[in-house]
Amino acid sequence: MIRFQGVSKIYSSNNIALQDVSFEIKEKEFVSITGRSGSGKTTLIRLLLAEEKPTSGRVFFRNQDVHKIKKNKLPFFRRNFGIVFQDYKLLEGKTVFENVAFALEVLGATDEEIRKNVPQVLEIVDMKDKAQNFPKELSGGEKQRVALARALVHRPALILADEPTGNLDPYHTWDIVRLLLKIHELGTTVVLATHDREIINFLQKRVITLEKGKIIKDEEKGRFIL
Amino acid sequence: MLISFKRIIFWGSQGFLRNSGASFAVTIVMSVVVFLITFLFFLRGYATLALESLQDQLALTIYFKQETSEEEILRAKREIETLAIVEKTRPVFQKEALDIFVKRYEKNPLILQALAAVGNNPFLAHLDIKAKTTQDYIKIKEFIEKSSFASIISHINYSELNPVIEKVGNISKAIGGFTIFLIIIFGIISFLVAYNTTKLLIYYLGEEIAVMRLVGASNLFIRGPLIVQNLISAFLAVIFALSLAAILIFVFSPKLEALVPGLDIKVYFLNHFWQIMILNIFTALFLAIFSSFLAIRKYLTI
């Protein structure tokens, strides 16, 4: 599904984000990418989303070189993903319902489909009661559940979660981890970037460990080694 | 497509209401620009009218000798009217010249007594000539001096008229220069205001646009609502600016009329209402679309 082929991202001679990174992720896998802050986790995700171009190497999604996609086609390409960020990135001017519905609206879903699917997804993340609230009225954990609902609602092939628990307390952290596992069980590929030792060790799934922009370990049922 | 269009209109209207603070600020800055454009339109119109009113009072007058007959005067009139640079002529015969004088001083018995003491009609018949432009008076004067009726002319008032023509010319140049100066100043102000409107939009939209892009929204879905939002601001800006202009015109109209008698700025406003309206709408539309495009251009490259 995803293939990084000798990818390097060099901002300057003393700022090398990724160095000759190669790996593959198969459909329906749950992969954690871990490493210290600045190890290159976020750069890896940004390269996959074609937010940035690699200095060298190629990134493929379903055998398509993502950096050869034309600019005007990028929004359509990104609809393959459901993205969850550490800082939630919700649209502050829209309610919980509207934030989730937005991902469907841009796809051209009908009002009927939206009325049917959005409450279902809000039910999964346990946010149905707060559908009419604005993001500023929610806690961090609630915001992240809304972000997850938005990432899920259009049934993407892949969920990309970049430090989704970074701003959350332990209770809400496990809430999100359980939701990610549930999404994976339902058949969605999940890529989770995190430096949380407990989460990595709890998951017992594949772990790719980065250090200073290089892959130092890639193992099935991996553990946090840093 | 219809569903996208409907959503864009809905999001734009919703965004306008929900971001009321930013919408209000954008509407105010747009109103300022539209008002400045309206003001400039009036200034240009007022200056032109004032100048025309001044020029309208200028005329070259040729005075005929005492014994000149009315027929000779009318022949001179016809000859002068063959010149393309002559706008119109008006002959004033001796009798009429006397009547005008008497009427003017009817409340001044001393002057009328002095006139009676003279005995006969001392006023000369004359011909008032209005040229198409102030530069034409000298040509008309030269034509008259070389004409077949030069011998029946007593004198021409050109020496009195010339300083006035020069003054009007200078005023005209000054007004022209001042108008250009104001256009430049207002142009700079308008650009700065439009630029800052854009900055304002960037300030509160930057993050949202980046999120929309990452969620997979196309340019149409990002730009569309912002344009709708700005169009609502533009519509309100036109109403605000026109209302303010109307209020100011009705308040200051008597004072302006005192400066240039016969020039009613209210009438000018009403006569040019649709012109002003269209100018305002185009300015506001330009501002709305220009600022929307500029504001999100940077974020659409993500």
Beta bridge partners of B129: B60, B89
- Measure in Å the smallest separation between the Cα of B210 and chain A Cα atoms: 9
Q: Which residues on neighbouring strands pair with residue A159, listed in sequence order?
A: A82, A190
Instruction: Tell me what pLDDT residue B298 has.
Output: 63
| A72 vs B contacts (CB less than 8 Å) | 218-219
Sign of CA dihedral B201, B202, B208, B209: positive
Record: contact A105-B208, CB cut-off 8 A: no
Per DSSP, A94 falls in state S
What pLDDT shows up at residue A53?
A: 93
Judged by average pLDDT, the poorest of A6-10, A130-134, B99-103 is B99-103
User: What is the rounded CA–CA span in Å between residue B264 and residue B275?
Assistant: 17
- Flag whether residue B145 sits within 8 Å of chain A, measured between CB atoms: no
Residues in chain A whose Cβ is within 8 Å of chain B: 49, 51, 71-72, 74-76, 78-79, 81, 83, 89-93, 102-103, 105-108, 110-111, 150
Mean pLDDT across chain A, nearest whole number? 91
pLDDT for position A216: 92
- Superfamily for domain range A2-219: P-loop containing nucleotide triphosphate hydrolases (3.40.50.300)
Which residues make Cβ contacts (< 8 Å) with residue B185, sequence separation at least 6? none
In chain B, whose CA is at the least distance from the CA of A152? B215
More confident residue, A152 or B204: A152
**pLDDT at A57 > cutoff 80:** yes
User: Which value, in Å, is the radius of gyration of the alpha carbons in chain A?
Assistant: 17
Instruction: Report the 10 Å Cβ neighbour count for A81.
Output: 23
Q: What is the DSSP string of B10-45?
A: HHHHHHHHHTHHHHHHHHHHHHHHHHHHHHHHHHHH
To the nearest whole Å, the CA of A226 is away from the closest chain B CA by 31
> Nearest-CA distance from A197 to chain B in Å?
28
What pLDDT shows up at residue B201? Answer: 67
**Which residues of chain B register pLDDT less than 50?**
302
Instruction: Tell me which residue in B7, B210, B218 faces A75 most closely, judged by beta carbons.
Output: B218
The domain ranges of chain A are 2-219
A2-12 and A56-61 as β-strands: parallel, antiparallel, unpaired? antiparallel
How many angstroms away from the CA of B251 is the closest CA of chain A? 42
Q: Number of A to B CB contacts under 8 A, please give it.
A: 55
pLDDT in tens, A25-55: 999 999 999 998 888 999 999 999 998 999 9
Interface of B with A in 7-66 (CB under 8 A): 7, 14-15, 18-19
Q: Which of B211, B296, B300 best probes binding to A when mutated, by most A CB atoms within 10 angstroms?
A: B211
Give the integer Cα–Cα distance in Å for A116 and B226. Answer: 28
Q: Could A106 and B221 be called an inter-chain contact, meaning their C-beta atoms sit closer than 8 Å?
A: yes
Q: Please indicate whether, in this complex, the C-beta atoms of A76 and B221 are within 8 angstroms of each other.
A: no
Band (A181; pLDDT cuts 50, 70, 90): very high
Best mutation target, A72, A84, A102, A110, to test chain B (most B CBs within 10 A): A102
Predicted pLDDT of residue B221? 84
- Identify the DSSP state of A157: S
Provide the pLDDT for residue B61.
92
What's the length of chain B?
302
| Closest residue, chain A, to B17 (C-alpha) | A93
Across the interface, whether the CB atoms of B215 and A110 are under 8 A apart is answered: no
Q: How far is B291 from chain A (nearest CA, A)?
A: 20
List, in order of start, the domains of chain B with CATH numbers: 2-55+169-301 (no CATH), 58-167 (3.30.70.3040)
Q: CA-CA distance, B55 to A177, in Å (whole number)? A: 86
Q: Tell me how far apart the alpha carbons of residues B278 and B255 are, in angstroms, rounded to a whole number.
A: 27
Which residues of chain A form beta strands (DSSP E)? 2-12, 15-25, 30-34, 56-61, 64-65, 81-85, 158-162, 189-193, 206-211, 214-219
Amino acid B52: pLDDT: 78
Cross-chain Cβ contact A102/B3 below 8 Å: no
pLDDT for residue B302? 46
Q: Which helix (H) or strand (E) holds B143?
A: helix B136-145
At A46, list the tokens.
């940004």
Percent of chain A beyond pLDDT 90?
Answer: 59
Q: How far is CA B269 from CA A209, B180, B183, B256, in A?
A: 74, 22, 20, 13
pLDDT, tens digit (0-9, with 9 covering 90-100), for A69-120 = 998 888 889 989 999 988 888 988 899 999 999 989 888 889 999 999 999 9
